[in-house]
Structure 1
Amino acid sequence: MSLTAAMESSCELDLVYITERIIAVSYPSTAEEQSYSSNLREVAHMLKSKHGNNYVLFNLSERRRDVNKLHPKVLDFGWPDMHTPALEKICSICKAMDTWLNAAAHNVVVLHNKGNRGRLGVVVAAYMHYSNISASADQALDRFAMKRFYEDKVVPVGQPSQKRYIHYFSGLLSGSIKMNNKPLFLHHVIMHGIPNFESKGGCRPFLKIYQAMQPVYTSGIYNVQGDSQTGICITIEPGLLLKGDILLKCYHKKFRSPTRDVIFRVQFHTCAVHDLDVVFGKEDLDEAFRDDRFPEYGKVEFVFSYGPEKIQGMEHLENGPSVSVDYNTSDPLIRWDSYENFNIQREESAEGAWAEPPLPSKHLEKGWGVGLEPGTSQNL
């Protein structure tokens, strides 16, 4: 009753039994701290009374001490809001969920999230594919329930990169996606169509590229007038070596203002890139896919090679004289982006840490772990 009252008095808490053994506890990023802390205590009381000590909490958000109020058994798998987790982290989450659920019939998984529900969607959709490896007939209803939760609760708020990583994960499990182990060198990022982020049209874009959530490249600031250009090319020479989970963020540096806007964001994994020319349409770009300032016909093209040497015959990509570039990237506004709270390995809480049972042999029988085992990111 107290939990019901808490949910009725605040529209912030969303507690859903996705299946009988997978529970989602979600709060919006705007949840007030006092209300959030109070609701945590109510949820902890309910879970304790209904499930005893037979549940593990998977924290998908930023690491914080008060989450332990839900339960001493907390596994931190968090990643930044609105982003997608590393492919290896998706594997680790699914493996840990499956191990715990198969250890005892009364074991329950609680997924905790503070922020956009896209995080929950990634985990639920990925586990739906993972559990399908060795699915039995009695799991059909669970898979249906997970699919319905994903479509009803997550699809409307999800990002294209999150859907892309679910596609990667499903394809690698089924074998429909073959792994590319070759290192790729990025030479050109081409924006076809100029977003209108300035009052007179055009934008002032700059790129930041991350590998495994660590910054590896920051471009200069390009000044582009929308009526003078149909596209813009940002060239990196020598080519930038990329391998693994890649995040590229394109910002607009506001003119005479200490602020910036995100033009688009895109995440991909090089293991799934088999072409040296990759194009993402507007519908494939995080943030931009529903931003009217980004043209409907707009797209972003990545030109790779297998070596750092300059690609010959690309002179046509050079920008016109109306495009100017400011290479001063010392401005804190340009340099700033921190994911320090998420660049840490999963660790069990010191108090009440649970010992993970061995991975069920059924996954090994199905070939799981070939290039996808946690700790083998070099194979991805």
Structure 2
Amino acid sequence: LVFFQQRRDRVLEGSTRVIPSIQPRPLPIRNMSVSRTMEDSCELDLVYVTERIIAVSFPSTANEENFRSNLREVAQMLKSKHGGNYLLFNLSERRPDITKLHAKVLEFGWPDLHTPALEKICSICKAMDTWLNADPHNVVVLHNKGNRGRIGVVIAAYMHYSNISASADQALDRFAMKRFYEDKIVPIGQPSQRRYVHYFSGLLSGSIKMNNKPLFLHHVIMHGIPNFESKGGCRPFLRIYQAMQPVYTSGIYNIPGDSQTSVCITIEPGLLLKGDILLKCYHKKFRSPARDVIFRVQFHTCAIHDLGVVFGKEDLDDAFKDDRFPEYGKVEFVFSYGPEKIHGMEHLENGPSVSVDYNTSDPLIRWDSYDNFSGHREDGME
């Protein structure tokens, strides 16, 4: 994260070299139909966000045969229009056909509907800036299969990254990126994606100060009980990931309908967390070998400065648009600077109607959604 200070220092020293676009005015945001075949398939979304940043997106449900055909035609179009001056950033899972079709590919994939690590956002922006500044004819292609939120994170982050050193004649490019993000991404993005864009912007500008203290998580309190069972209530359990590696699995809490207004999941001793954190709360279905996601939230400890952090429904991935999660619902995290039990928290104890099953050896509980992402598939990921 020294990246942020170095970026600000370079700007202050006046050493950042900014090369203007080939033409002074960016193209308006538009979809480009590469061929009648792709237009008919309704699966490809190719947009010139600016003259030098192109977004190519396919839905996760894209027919594989059409997808491969469209990939080939996109490659032909890019080569005919930009020659060897385009660099493709793959934001999805690795695919051999992508690297075969394009001469220059950088792999930056992360799971769909999630936010990338803060360090990865830094690396993407730095690579984009280096390529665009190397030659005024160079263009960047952002490739994505799945929700367009991935492209949105990159566009918004690069907008802030370039803004810190941008010249006046790049104002239209910044406006185009902002318009693309607000019109095409915000309506479909996840709260954690917006949170990380906020982190990135704040750390770049200095408005967010870095927290370097260790944080220990002791309690996760869900205020407002979601209704995931036919008679109300739910059976939640937590999975916590650090740098996308599982570090904690809670017991399964059985909460009958209307019996509680909140539930507290206590971790003792406190769990040391550092860096990119993903907390995923599941509901284990009653008498069924299945689980549903109640909510998901991603945050970075460098931006956490309070020992009590509250995420409202609008801040929780999945839950923010799920009617089963109450509108007034929120999730509270209680941290400390050490693993020792926090005294004076007896009021958080759950009532007698809440039981806990600590048998977490069930494969359904232990199963890791992200275990195979670095491979070639992300299908079936929750």
Same fold (TM over 0.5): yes
Asked if the contact 1:63/1:341 (under 8 Å) is kept, the reply is no
Find the aligned partners of 1:150 and 1:110 in 2 and give their Cα distance: 16
| Aligned residue type for 1:167 | H
Question: Deviation digits for residues 324-370 of structure 1, max 9, x if unmatched?
Answer: 111111111111124245559xxxxxxxxxxxxxxxxxxxxxxxxxx
1:313 to 335, 338, 344: 344
Question: Which residue does 2:223 correspond to in 1?
Answer: 192
Amino acid at match of 1:158: G
C-alpha change, 1:341 and 1:56, in structure 2 (3 Å) is farther
After superposing on structure 2, the runs of 4+ consecutive aligned residues of structure 1 that deviate more than 3 Å are: 340-344
The partner residue of 2:88 within 57, 64, 69 is 57
Q: Which residue is 1:245 aligned to?
A: 276
**In structure 2, what is the Cα distance between the partners aligned to 1:314 and 1:282?**
24
Alignment CA distance shift 1:300-1:284 (3 Å): same
1:64 Cα deviation (Å)? 1.4
Q: Are 2:266 and 1:235 equivalent residues in the alignment? A: yes
Aligned partners of 1:178, 1:192: CA distance in 2, in Å? 29
CA distance in 2, matches of 1:81, 1:125: 17
2:308 — aligned with what? Answer: 277
- Indicate the structure whose relative CO is greater, using CA pairs within 8 Å and at least 6 residues apart: 1
Which residue of structure 2 aligns with residue 133 of structure 1? 164
Count the aligned residue pairs. 344
Q: Deviations along 1:63-118, whole A, 9 cap, x unmatched?
A: 11111244121110000000000000000000000000000000010000000000
Report the Cα distance in structure 2 between the residues aligned to 1:243 and 1:58, rounded to whole angstroms: 28
Residues of 2 paired with 1:109 and 1:336: CA distance?
Answer: 37
2:93 and 2:374 in contact (8 A); partners too: no
Amino acid at match of 1:4: S
Contact 1:41 1:69 in 2 (8 A): no
Secondary structure of 2:51's counterpart equals: coil
Tell me the C-alpha RMSD between the 2 structures.
1.3
- Equivalent residues in 2 for 1:289-300 (5 A)? 289-300=320-331
Deviations along 1:37-81, one digit per CA (max 9) or x if unpaired, are 000000000000000111110000011111124412111000000
Q: For 1:89, give the aligned amino acid.
A: K
Query: Is 1:93 the equivalent of 2:150?
Result: no
What SS does structure 2 have at the residue aligned with 1:134? coil
1:151 aligned residue (179, 182, 194): 182
C-alpha distance in structure 2 between counterparts of 1:338 and 1:298, whole Å: 25
Structure 1 residues 211, 2: CA separation in 2 closer, same or farther (over 3 Å shift)? closer
- 1:284-325, CA deviations, whole angstroms, 9 ceiling, x for partnerless residues? 000101111000110000000000000001111111110011
Identity of aligned residues (%): 88
**1:22-33 equivalences in 2 (<5 Å):** 22-33=53-64
CA contact (8 A) 2:214 2:272 kept: yes
User: Residue 6 of structure 1: SS of its match in structure 2?
Assistant: helix
- TM-score for the superposition, normalised by structure 1: 0.89
Superposition deviation, residue 2 in structure 1: 8.6
Cα distance in 2 between the residues matched to 1:179 and 1:144: 29
The runs of 5 or more residues in structure 2 that have no matched partner are: 1-31, 376-382
Distance 1:44 1:343, change over 3 A: closer
TM-score (normalizing by structure 2)? 0.88
Q: Letter of the aligned partner of 2:87 in structure 1?
A: V
Tell whether the 8 Å contact from 1:43 to 1:70 is kept in structure 2 after alignment: no
> How many angstroms apart in 2 are the aligned matches of 1:284 and 1:201?
23
Measure the CA separation in 2 of the matches of 1:82 and 1:12. 18
Q: Do the aligned residues in 1 keep the contact of 2:92 with 2:111 (CA within 8 Å)?
A: yes
The residue that corresponds to 2:67 in the other structure is 36
